[in-house]
Amino acid sequence: MIRRILSLAAVVITALLLQSTVFGQLRLLGVRPELLYLVTISIALLEGPNEGATVGFVSGLAQDFLMNEPKGLTALTLTLLGYGVGMFRQFIVSPSPLVPTIVVGIGTAAGIAFYEIVSVLLGNFHEDTAYGVKVALLTAAYNAVLTPILYPLLRRITEGSRPRRVVRF
Amino acid sequence: MVTHPRPRGTRLLVVALVSLSLVIITLDYREGSTGPLAEAGRWTQATMAPLQQAVWTVTRPIGDFFSGLAHLPSLERENADLKTQVANLQADLAGRSNVETQLQTVTDLLGLKQQLFPDGVAAVVIGNGVSNFEWSVTINKGSDDGIEVDQPVVAGAATTPRLVGRVTQVTSNSATVQLLIDQNFAVAGRLSPTRATGLVQGRGEQDPEMDGIPQDTNIDITGDQPVQVFTMSYEINGQHGRYPPGILIGEVSSVIQSTNALETAVTIRPAVDFASLEYVLVLKTAASQEGNGG
């Protein structure tokens, strides 16, 4: 259990570090990927709603603490996103390797849109609607492109950290 | 995919986490920058700063490479304008190593510090903002070096200090700098030939806008000399502005046709290339210590 927590914590910290350094530079058409959204959705797909919501909350809160935006907003967004994707995975019957890519793309767009709407309600969203839509769609596209590279890595990490069953005869 | 029936525990967990998020949002709104959540934010940033610096050092060349690819369309557009400058610069740069170039940048910054701002603190950029909705960088100097919230940040040489932004958050070993292109950034500006004044506001990916300029101001951006915008000094009720006068903000890139009979507005191309920002100078100005407005 401790190994599992440490593995997921390492994943979140690594994603946060990459997001605030190398991915921070990668603004394509003015928008950059959101690694923590990708990590939350992937963990939720691989492990289910419990882990999805927990990883979403922790990674969202960590991102909130590094931003000048209202704290708790990303945590709320990623908690609901992790739970939603985790619950949705029971309806996925296709074994296609494209499934994670599509789910990450749609999930990221939905998550960013939710974040923007709540920001508007809190009076903290100063960009225009066109920019909001552009960010949601482009971030979804970038995350979808990154998924075939990062999803197998995350699957290996989560499977490797699962407690091994001991069978006694 | 495997189907598992979900116990009530999952729903309880989500309700608890959502409730906790809502409590955090509420507390953050009530307490602002003085409560325990803001303190937790500063602690997180202080903890992450050394790690960011290490990762930044290793991954910066990779980021620069992909950033260059990402900016290829705009680079092509700028290419024609830059060709003439490149011809002159090539002679200077011939024979210089990368280390020498960096040394020149730091020397320029040192000259800027010694001549104009002797109390300034030179710092290295070690990270970027993590969100698509804020434009900020993290620097490797903090309150241990005398940096405080609201202090102005500049780049460039002694002859042409260029405005980068202002400090918005400080930890013992790092600080967050809000860039002048951030939507929440504003500074009083003055046009170079006419001395007309206005308010410069960040607009994210778009060029910042300067409005409140008197309608009868002559702004000719087609001439040989670019129309530049500088910070300006002012005093309201005995309080001075946050930024020292004469720091270059940028050049006017277009004039916005105003429907207002009294005022006009322009867009400004920032003087600083934020994509390749590496060294900055934080100014310990008296005005910033008073914590006054832009």
- The DSSP code for A93 is -
Cβ–Cβ < 8 Å for B121, B147:
yes
Query: B85 and B68: one domain?
Result: yes
Q: What domains can be seen in chain A, in order of their start residue?
A: 2-160 (1.10.1760)
Query: B140 and B282: one domain?
Result: yes
Q: Which residues pair with B279 in a beta bridge?
A: B124
Query: B163 and B196: one domain?
Result: no
Query: B55 and B120: one domain?
Result: yes
**Cross-chain residue pair B40–A18, CB shorter than 8 Å:** no
The answer as to whether B6 is a domain residue is no
**Residue A10 scores a pLDDT above 70:** yes
ipTM of this complex:
0.89
| Chain B residues near residue A125 by CB distance under 8 angstroms | 133
pLDDT in tens, B114-140: 555 667 888 999 888 888 888 899 999
In this structure, what token pair is assigned to residue B24? Answer: 């955090």
Q: Which residue range forms the structural domain that includes residue B286?
A: 38-179+277-290
**Cross-chain residue pair A17–B168, CB shorter than 8 Å:** no
Cβ–Cβ < 8 Å for A89, A123:
no
| Phi/psi at B244 (5° precision) | -65, 150
**Cross-chain residue pair B55–A21, CB shorter than 8 Å:** yes
The answer as to whether B61 is a domain residue is yes
| Chain B residues near residue A19 by CB distance under 8 angstroms | 130
d(CA A41, CA B131): 17
- The DSSP code for B257 is P
The answer as to whether B29 is a domain residue is no
Identity of the residue numbered B237: N
Query: B92 and B161: one domain?
Result: yes
Please state the domain count of chain B: 2
**Cross-chain residue pair B56–A67, CB shorter than 8 Å:** no
**Residue B291 scores a pLDDT above 80:** no
pLDDT in tens, B24-45: 999 888 887 778 888 888 888 8
Distance from CA of A168 to the nearest CA of B (A): 25
Q: Which of A19, A50, A135 shows the shortest C-beta gap to B130?
A: A19
pLDDT in tens, A16-72: 999 888 887 777 888 889 999 999 999 999 999 999 999 999 999 999 988 877 789
Q: For all residues of chain B together, what is the average pLDDT?
A: 79
Distance from CA of A166 to the nearest CA of B (A): 22
pLDDT higher at A14 or B114: A14
State how far Cα B290 lies from the chain centre: 21
| Other C-beta atoms lying within 10 Å of the C-beta of residue B8 | 7
